[in-house]
């Protein structure tokens, strides 16, 4: 059995980008480790959702624990950096933010976990973090360097199939769903990576119940009327039934790999 470390920026990123893969690998008996760089304390929340005395970081940590149970996570760790906020915000300049973290120091923190777990696989994000969020970009930088330090044999960049996203967005009305708004700066022309770069497409259709349950665990960020959860089951399967990766050092081919372990 293998050990796979999934490295993410904030609570809820893990389920959106890689939740199905995590649940699939856990069901197959592999050891699934989740490392999260920050507690997402700058995430926006519906008014009145916090309990008395509860901070945003407290709530998001509790939600992550619940989501992790749904996904079969064996161990969860934080790198203990602050949320940097969206690109261009003053919070990007906070010296304690993940975006401002010293690359070698942050990489050593992650490499220590990779070493301890004798990780076979590490997932990070693509070079621009999917959509340009500073913390997501830093996950890529730190993760790639940590894998070098630890000698982790396989590194996969979690991404989105840009061609597929554009197709789904253009057919959203026909599918009966409301596309997400653009408040987070989402640009379908630059989101994710083009299909020609993708090396690995993991079919997670059998694990969509676990993925949806984990999304619901992040109730402060993913509400029932959100784009993520409001779509009918058949559309949910169409949108989320495949998770996409680019394996570092591998050349794309016409026949995509269907597992993070095919070449480990």
d(CA 220, CA 12): 10
Contact of 105 with 246, CB cutoff 8 Å? no
d(CA 173, CA 179): 8
What CATH number is given to the structural domain containing 93? 3.40.50.10320
Distances (CA, A) of 159 to 26, 49, 99, 163, 235: 21, 31, 20, 12, 20
**pLDDT beyond 50 at 121:** yes
Kindly state whether residue 253 falls inside one of the protein's structural domains: no
**pLDDT beyond 80 at 37:** yes
**pLDDT beyond 90 at 92:** yes
Contact of 34 with 9, CB cutoff 8 Å? no
Contact of 160 with 130, CB cutoff 8 Å? yes
**pLDDT beyond 80 at 195:** yes
Mean pLDDT over each residue of the chain, to the nearest integer:
93
Report DSSP state, residue 22. Answer: H
Helix (H) or strand (E) holding 164: helix 162-170
Q: Regarding beta strands 154-159 and 242-247, do their DSSP bridges make them parallel or antiparallel, or are they unpaired?
A: antiparallel
**pLDDT beyond 60 at 185:** no
Kindly state whether residue 254 falls inside one of the protein's structural domains: no
d(CA 7, CA 4): 10
Mean pLDDT for the stretch of residues 233-249: 95
Contact of 27 with 72, CB cutoff 8 Å? yes
Kindly state whether residue 264 falls inside one of the protein's structural domains: no
Range of the domain at 49: 3-247
d(CA 94, CA 43): 16
Kindly state whether residue 201 falls inside one of the protein's structural domains: yes
Report DSSP state, residue 260. Answer: T
Kindly state whether residue 140 falls inside one of the protein's structural domains: yes
Q: What proportion of the chain, given as a percentage, has pLDDT over 70?
A: 94
Q: How confident is the model at residue 29 (pLDDT cuts 50, 70, 90)?
A: very high
d(CA 60, CA 75): 17
Kindly state whether residue 126 falls inside one of the protein's structural domains: yes
∠185-44-234 over CA atoms, to 5°? 70
Kindly state whether residue 101 falls inside one of the protein's structural domains: yes
Q: How many domains does the chain have?
A: 1
29-33, 103-107, 178-182: the lowest-pLDDT one: 178-182
Q: Which two tokens stand for residue 143?
A: 């993760």
Q: How confident is the model at residue 169 (pLDDT cuts 50, 70, 90)?
A: confident
Q: Which range in 39-48, 58-67, 253-262 is most confidently predicted, on average pLDDT? A: 58-67
d(CA 101, CA 181): 30
d(CA 129, CA 111): 20
Kindly state whether residue 260 falls inside one of the protein's structural domains: no
């Amino acid at each position: 059995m293998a050990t796979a470390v999934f490295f993410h920026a904030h609570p809820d990123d893990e389920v959106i980008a890689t939740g199905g893969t995590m649940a699939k690998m856990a069901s197959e008996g592999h050891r699934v480790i989740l490392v999260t760089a920050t507690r997402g304390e700058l995430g926006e929340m519906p008014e009145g959702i916090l309990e008395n005395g509860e901070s945003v970081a407290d709530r998001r940590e509790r939600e992550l624990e619940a989501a992790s149970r749904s996904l079969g996570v064996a161990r969860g760790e934080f790198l203990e950096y602050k949320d940097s906020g969206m690109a261009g915000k003053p919070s990007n300049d906070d010296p304690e933010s993940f975006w401002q973290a010293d690359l070698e120091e942050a990489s050593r923190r992650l490499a220590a976990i990779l070493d301890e777990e004798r990780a076979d696989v590490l997932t990070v994000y693509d070079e621009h973090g999917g959509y340009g969020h500073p913390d997501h970009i830093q996950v890529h930088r730190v993760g790639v360097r940590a894998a070098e330090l630890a000698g982790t044999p396989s590194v996969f960049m979690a991404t989105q199939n840009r061609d597929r996203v554009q197709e789904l967005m253009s057919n959203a009305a026909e599918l009966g769903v409301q596309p997400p708004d653009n408040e987070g700066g989402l640009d379908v022309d630059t989101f994710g990576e083009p299909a020609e770069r993708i090396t690995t497409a993991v079919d997670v259709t059998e694990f969509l119940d676990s993925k949806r349950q984990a999304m619901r665990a992040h109730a402060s960020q993913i509400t029932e009327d959100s784009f993520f959860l409001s779509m009918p089951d058949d559309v949910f399967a169409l949108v989320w039934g495949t998770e996409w990766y680019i394996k570092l050092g591998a050349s794309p081919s016409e026949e995509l790999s269907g597992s993070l372990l095919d070449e480990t």
